[in-house]
Every structure is written in C-alpha cells, then in structure tokens.
Amino acid sequence: MKKIEELNQPLILSKNDNINGENSIIVKDNNVDQQGCLKLGERVWEESKKLWHVAGPSIVSRIASFSMNVVTTAFAGHLGDVELASLSIANTVIVGFNFGLLLGMASALETLCGQAFGAKKLHMLGIYMQRSWIVLFLCCFLLLPFYVFATPLLKLAGQPDDIAELTGLVAAWLIPLHFSFAFVFPVQRFLQSQLKTAIIAWVSFAAFFVHIFMSWLLVYVFNMGIIGLCVTLNVSWWILFFGEMAYVAWGGCPETWSGFSWQAFVGLWEFVKLSAASGVMLCLENWYYRILVLMVGGLENAAIAVDALSVCMTINGWEMMIPLAFFAATGVRVANELGAGNGKAAKFATKVSVATSTVIGLIFCVIIMALHDRFAIIFSDSVPVLEEVDKLSWLLAVTILLNSVQPVLSGVAIGSGWQVYVAYINIGCYYVVGLPLGVVMGWVFNTGVTGIWAGMIFGGTALQTVILGIITVSCDWDKEAQKVVAHVESWSKEPQYRVNQAGVE
C-alpha cells in the first residue's frame, strides 16, 4: 500500500483508462514534473474541469426537473383559482415535504458510492444503489398517509373545504410520483458518483419536453383538467428513472452494475442509519424556507407580503439549482478523493468548489441589487407587490450569496460522511436559533416579513455556514482519508462476511 505521502501527490485527469466502455474522466496519481506538483493555476484548472464535469450536467437536469413543476403550475393557473391553489399545496407542501426527506436519504449514496468509486471498489456501487432502492421504497410506505389523508389534515390546518378536498384528490393521483423518488434519486447519485452525468442531463431534457407536450395534450385535447396534470407529472418522473436505468442496464456501467444481487439485503441496518441521518440533515434545510412562507402567512394583511415573498422564493429557487449542483459535485469530488486516500486533494477540491460557487453567487447577488426595483415585473404588475419586493431585494441578495456557500459545505459533509454531526448543527442553527429569532424580530419588534426573513437568514443560514466553514477548515484531511479508506474496506467486505456466516459459502 502506498504511503500517505505518495497518495497526496497532485491529481490530473486521464482519459486513457477505459473502465466503462467509453472515455471517462477518472482520478489517478501522476508526477507531472520533477517536483511532482502542478502550478497553482494549472491545478485549479484541472480541478475545475473535474468539478464542472459533474456540476454542469447537474445544473441542466435540476433546472429541467424544477421547470416541470413550473409548467404544471402554469397550466393549473389557467384551469381556475381552486385548481391552482390545490395543485400548489399538494406539490409544495405534501410532495415537497416527502421530496426533501427522500432526496436527503438518497444522498447517502453520494458518500458510499463516491468513496467506493475512489477506492476502486466498483462492484459495490450497484449493491449500494439497490440497498438505497429498498430503504427508500419502504420509507415511501411510511410516508403514504400524508397522501391518503391529505384532505382531513388540510381541513385540520384550516384550509377551506373546497381546496382541501381537491388537494386530497390531487395528492392521491400523485402517489406514483411519490414512489418514483425512491428509484430516481438513487440511480442519479449512482451515476454522478462515477462521473456519468451527461446521461442524466439528456434524459432530463427528454422528460421535460415530454412533460410540456403531455400537459397540453391531456389538458386541452382530452380535457382531463387537473387530473391530466397529475398523470403528466407521474409519467415525466418515471421517464427519468427508466431512461437512466436503461443506460445502466444496457452496458453503460459494466464495471459497477452486474445485475440484481442478494447482497443488497445484507447490512441494511447500517445503511438505514446513514440514510436517515442524510435525510434529516437535508430535509431540515428544505423545510426551513417553507416554514418562512407559513410564518409570513400568519401576519396581519399578509396577502401582499406573501405574494412578494413568493416572488423572491421563486427567484431563489431557480438560482438555487446552481449551488445545489455544486453540492452534488462537491460531494462526489470529496468522496472520490477520500476513497482513494487523497486527503490533500479532497481539501483542494473543497477550496476550488467553494470559490467557484461563491463567485457565481456574487454575480447573481449584484444582478439582484442592480435590478432591485424591476426584476419582479416578470411575475407581477401589481404596484404594492413590486414595492414590497423592492424592500425585500437586499434580503434576497444576501440569501443567494449565503446559499452559494452553504450547500457546497454541506456537499463536503456528504462526501466525508459527516451527516449525523451536520444534522445536529442544522437543528441547532435553524430551529433553536433561526426560527425563534425570526419570530422575535417579526412579531415582538413588529418588523413584519423583513424581520422574520432576516432573523431566519442571519440566525440560521449564516450561523450554519460559519460553523460548517470552521469544521471544514480545521479538518485533518489526511486522517479523514485514512478513516474513509478503512471504512470503505469494511463495508466492501461486509456482504461477503455475512453471507459466509450464514453458511452460504
């Protein structure tokens, strides 16, 4: 085994090694010159290429998926106010709640598959994906009551009867969408971890165009109304899974996919614990801004404030697709390097990713501030709403800037396997400090939506970003790499050990 000093040599791209039947970008040790190191500019360029190899297609696929919901909402808006409200509540609250949890649970694969790929334990990637399918599929059944009992739950929450009943119908029709998450999320992380991201972008594009055509066809040609929109969402998301899985099964990943295996059922409890920690870590972040909208809705004369906040959150949601792509890319890069025992390379990947995402965030921050009194015209021509958005624009700019750093640091945590610790940090920052501070500033000091949002941003997101930054900077990356290498070895041997103990050998 190489010494740590040898493993920490600078890394470059190589397209010579063909591990999957096509040119792939993989990581390897190489002495570039007599000193064994690249100049800083060259190292940044090489690392940036690896980073964008994952982040670029991820941005495309995330924007396409996000746009499917926007298209569905737009079609629903032309059906009627009740239809729009019902589909929005079903999609944002019910589906959104479960989406965040299942997406977080699937992110455990970014840790396991990324580290296994870096350690060249390629056979384990397919087994990990199958374990994730099993865990998420069972979790879908636990979450099913939110769909089945949506109507009484919404009535209990104070929603009007007509909206609650139609929302319950919509939620029932979206159950296939709910189960698609259990299969789409793992296969996407399986592909990302081995740098096969182009297929995700192409399939997402195809699903998006099918979604637009089907929405028009079922709503305006077959007059299926809001049910047609539900069917379209279901079909579009299952297209994502079958398109990506077809690539995997038909020779796209010969080294990492060898078919279904009984080993997927071995060691499930350890996998459940990591998945649960990942789910809690990310869903706490996902729910945080949804709570912001609910809190603002409790203010007096909140209609204008809610409309203005919705405009800001829509802008933030679109822009968030970029840092979320860097979240995925950083998790893959850090996991790959740690799995290969390259602690210094993982640290350098973190620096490049944080710097790149921050620069992009600064650009959007400047754009928002420059167009503070005009960008809301895209969504509304109401003068009061435009004026309120103008007042909130500086908070939107700060949120975008913070969110360009925070997801990247969360990606470092995912790649390093720190989900449990970050889950506790999120609980403390978001729900012990951020929410109470927002309540105090909004209601006690009577500052309204501005105070609520500012309290939640500076008390929650900013505090969490600082803590994660301190943890990342103070991390001993060489020691972390050694721990990950040992962890990957134990996990890759576990299935064979358990099978032998069962007397199968």
Pair 102, 206 in one domain? yes
Give the end-to-end CA distance of the chain in Å, rounded to a whole number.
29
- H/E segment holding residue 13: strand 11-14
Pair 322, 278 in one domain? yes
Residue 138 in domain: yes
Residue 505 in domain: no
What local confidence, expressed as pLDDT, does residue 475 receive? 92
Pair 436, 383 in one domain? yes
Q: Output the tens digit of pLDDT for each of the chain's 505 residues.
A: 443 334 334 333 343 344 343 333 344 444 444 444 558 888 999 999 999 998 999 898 888 888 888 788 778 878 887 887 788 788 878 888 888 889 888 888 888 899 999 888 898 999 999 999 999 999 999 999 999 999 998 888 777 888 889 999 999 999 999 999 999 999 999 999 898 989 999 999 999 999 999 999 999 999 999 999 999 999 999 999 999 999 999 989 999 998 888 888 887 887 888 888 888 877 777 778 777 766 776 666 666 777 788 788 878 888 888 998 998 899 999 999 999 999 999 999 999 999 999 999 999 999 999 998 888 887 677 788 888 889 999 999 999 999 999 889 989 998 888 888 888 898 899 999 998 999 899 888 888 888 889 998 998 989 999 999 999 999 999 999 998 888 787 766 644 433 333 333 3
Residue 497 in domain: no
Pair 120, 177 in one domain? yes
Residue 498 in domain: no
Torsion of the alpha carbons at 99, 428, 410 and 452, rounded to the nearest 10: 70
Nearest CA-CA partner of 283 in 151, 434, 190, 422? 422
What local confidence, expressed as pLDDT, does residue 284 receive? 77
Residue 183 in domain: yes
Nearest CA-CA partner of 159 in 143, 145, 144, 170? 170
Beta bridge mates, 29: 11
Contact predicate 222/214, CB 8 Å: no
Write out the residue range of the structural domain in which residue 13 sits: 4-43
Pair 351, 398 in one domain? yes
Contact predicate 457/395, CB 8 Å: yes
- Count: domains in the chain: 2
Residue 499 in domain: no
For residue 411, what are its two tokens? 């990606």
Give the C-alpha separation, 117 to 125, whole Å: 7
Tell me if the pTM is above 0.95.
no
Pair 159, 189 in one domain? yes
Residue whose entry in the numeric block shows the structure tokens 């992009």: 360
For residue 485, what are its two tokens? 């290498």
Pair 119, 8 in one domain? no
Give the C-alpha separation, 433 to 438, whole Å: 9
Pair 30, 98 in one domain? no
Pair 36, 50 in one domain? no
Contact predicate 12/46, CB 8 Å: yes
For residue 342, what are its two tokens? 């390259």
Which alpha helices (DSSP H) does 217-267 contain, by range? 225-247
Pair 135, 32 in one domain? no
Pair 349, 391 in one domain? yes
DSSP state of 459: I
Residue 503 in domain: no
Pair 60, 30 in one domain? no
For residue 238, what are its two tokens? 């299952």
Residue whose entry in the numeric block shows the structure tokens 């190589």: 14
What local confidence, expressed as pLDDT, does residue 157 receive? 75
Give the C-alpha separation, 243 to 200, whole Å: 9
Residue 253 in domain: yes
